Homo-oligomer: A and B are copies of this chain.
Amino acid sequence: MGTAAIIGSGLIGQGWAIVFARAGWSVRLYDSDAAKAEEARTLVARQLRTLHDHGLAGDPHAILARVAVAGTLEAALADVDYVQENTPEDLAIKQALFLRLDALAPAGAILASSTSSIRASLFSRDVPGQARCLVAHPVNPPYLVPVVELSGAPWTTPDVIERCAAILRDVGQKPVVVRREIEGFILNRLQGALLQEALRLAEEGYASVEDIDATVKDGLGLRWSFMGPFETIDLNAPGGIADYCARYNGMYRSIGASQVREPAWQGPAVADLEAQRRERLPAADLHERRFWRDERLMRLLRHKQQAEEEGR
């Protein structure tokens, strides 16, 4: 167990505080607005009770006792093993902050950013300790969705990537390594590819928004919740994945040739998506529906844990 500094106390920062403290780490929560950090700790306490009720966290009081609000950046970083930065998606802010993190954190500490859109090579370019800087991009909320994408700059050392992965595995996350910098990392690239085809199909009227959703949640998405796309096709041909590619590449190449048009992403097509969704879920219910989603995620996570414990 170690000590993690969580810099920035918004939703993502709160999520990371839960992840580390739940796993037994000491957490220092810092925000340039001290009142926000105190409020964040209260929100963490509330979320811990919910997680405990779902069998996804131990004693909430004991966990919360490991989360301290730090009054200064210096105090947050003293003797930490790991730093997770969660400030707004603004390059200038991150560049300035990483200079300070590098100056104040112990030499061995890893400096990770939650950014989904700014490359490590951009925010760490002028940092003396740039070798220990990287992106550790979580999915929100990280205490329910375990994957974390690690993406270093060309100068981030392999040792730092490995130690970061080990720490994240230690606190129950599933780190994946992005070997070279690329826009969208892996997750948003895969999501984007599927979304763009979903948008094309909806725009061109091949199916309703509801039916496209059903095709995933009652079809494709079932296996993908416990096997990746490669594992899935590996079992869908007698001889495994190479056999699958040999059998079906003709169909997928032919389909792929018709999947090149960029969907509209705006205008009447998106107004139609919006109208179809609001028919199913009025705007006034969006907020409440997010609690429903998190409740379902918690149940799913518990289900997966049990299935993995009992399965081979």
Contact = CB atoms under 8 A, between A and B. Distances in A.
A267 B113 CA distance: 38
Interface string A247-289: 0010111111111101001100011011001100101001001
Chain A interface size range: 35 or more
B227 A217 contact: yes
Contact of A207 (B179, B271, B278): B179
Contact of A229 (B146, B216, B295): B216
A296 B311 contact: yes
Copies of this chain present in the complex amount to: 2
A180 interface: yes
B192 A259 contact: yes
A174 B234 contact: no
A300 B297 contact: no
A193 interface: yes
Given A240-B286, A311-B296, A256 B206 contact: no
Contact of A227 (B188, B198, B260, B293): B293
Given A192-B255, A193-B193, A224 B226 contact: no
Interface in A15-45: none
A290 B235 CA distance: 6
Contacts of A52: none
A274 B233 contact: no
Nearest to A173: B218
Contacts of A256: 192-193, 196, 262
Contact of A211 (B186, B273, B278, B281): B186
Interface of A: 117, 139, 144-147, 149, 174, 176-180, 182-184, 186-198, 201-202, 205-209, 211-231, 233-235, 238-242, 245-246, 249, 251-260, 262, 265-266, 270-271, 273-274, 277-278, 281, 283, 286, 289-290, 292-293, 295-297, 299-301, 303, 307, 311-312
